[in-house]
Amino acid sequence: MRTKRRTGVFGAILAALAIVATSCGSGGGANTIKVGSTNFTEQEILGEIYAQALEANGFTVERKFKLGARDIVEPALESGEIDLYAEYAGTVLEYLNNGAGEASGDAAATIDKLRQRFADRGVTVLDYAPAVDANALVVTQETAAKYGLTKISDLASIAGDLVFGGPPECPKRPFCLIGFQDTYGLNFKEFKPLDTGGPITVAALENGEIDVGLLFSSDGAIAARNFVVLQDDKYLQPADNIVPVVRTAVNSQKLDDVVNSVSAKITTSVLSQMNKSVNIDKEDASTVAHDWLVANGFISG
């Protein structure tokens, strides 16, 4: 009776440790790539696209999606918890250089600077996609009509009466609240932290809890809800092309070829369409990614 209990207990400890060890150790051999993503739907779609493309080319992929905001995921890349994820060129450049102002509307120049910045951190920047997803300042049709708004500068005189809603990290972001304040002189009456360009922000706009919302330019909800995107007339938003970044240590020519060939085909309209399929039509990100990859000949049926 006693010995049975002792081995039972011992066995349980071993089993528990084994499970924990296998889950948190880095799995697989040199051909295993951990693809990560931040915490909104578009990122999950992009993650699936790259993951499936890699799998079709002989890589073993471990998916670690929706880990958190960039502040969680980018350090995870540097520390090796993930190996690859999709970034947005201008925004991540300013994230890395602490807002030094190196990003611009010129995608190629921005990417060059980004390569330098990431090189010090053991990260390789691959080719950027044509698709752009930048911060978009959005209002409802009614609001636009009421104040006669077409561009962001139009908000300057009335911002003090308006409530602005966006992701919780917005007040700390140079292309978000900080940029709106510095470049456009917008001092909103109140900032409401909501979600990362998701349905909560959309719903808040629709029921008037906020007057101006931050969405992402590739968000399907913008068209679906007839929102008005205020034109970025002072060009605050940099070239936020989708660009995959990968840990140099696990990178290989083969990986580059696979990923780059896929990126070349991702355009803004493709991205918007996929966002709409997942967010509004409620399809799975993995299915949408799969279908697109098949349609473009990257993987076979």
Contacts of 110 (CB under 8 A, 6+ apart): 89, 90, 93, 102, 103, 104, 238, 239
Cβ 9 to other proteins shortest distance, Å: 7
User: By rule CB under 8 A, what string of x and - marks binding of each residue 47-86 to other proteins?
Assistant: -----------------xxxxxx-xx--xx--x-x-----
234 binds other proteins (CB under 8 A): no
Cα–Cα distance for residue pair 10/14, rounded to 1 Å: 6
Residue 14 CA from chain centroid, whole number:
39
Cβ 282 to other proteins shortest distance, Å: 5
- The smaller minimum CB distance to other proteins, of residues 65 and 175, is found at 65
The H-or-E segment that residue 201 falls in is helix 199-206
4 binds other proteins (CB under 8 A): no
Cβ 111 to other proteins shortest distance, Å: 25
Q: Which of 106, 91, 67, 238 is nearest to 172 (CA)?
A: 91
Cα–Cα distance for residue pair 134/248, rounded to 1 Å: 26
User: By rule CB under 8 A, what string of x and - marks binding of each residue 28-47 to other proteins?
Assistant: -----------xxx------
Cα–Cα distance for residue pair 281/274, rounded to 1 Å: 10
110 binds other proteins (CB under 8 A): no
Cα–Cα distance for residue pair 9/172, rounded to 1 Å: 49
Applying CB under 8 A, which residues contact other proteins?
1-2, 5, 9, 12-13, 15-16, 19-20, 23-24, 39-41, 64-69, 71-72, 75-76, 79, 81, 165, 167-169, 172, 190, 192-195, 198-200, 202-204, 206-207, 209, 224-225, 278-280, 282, 284
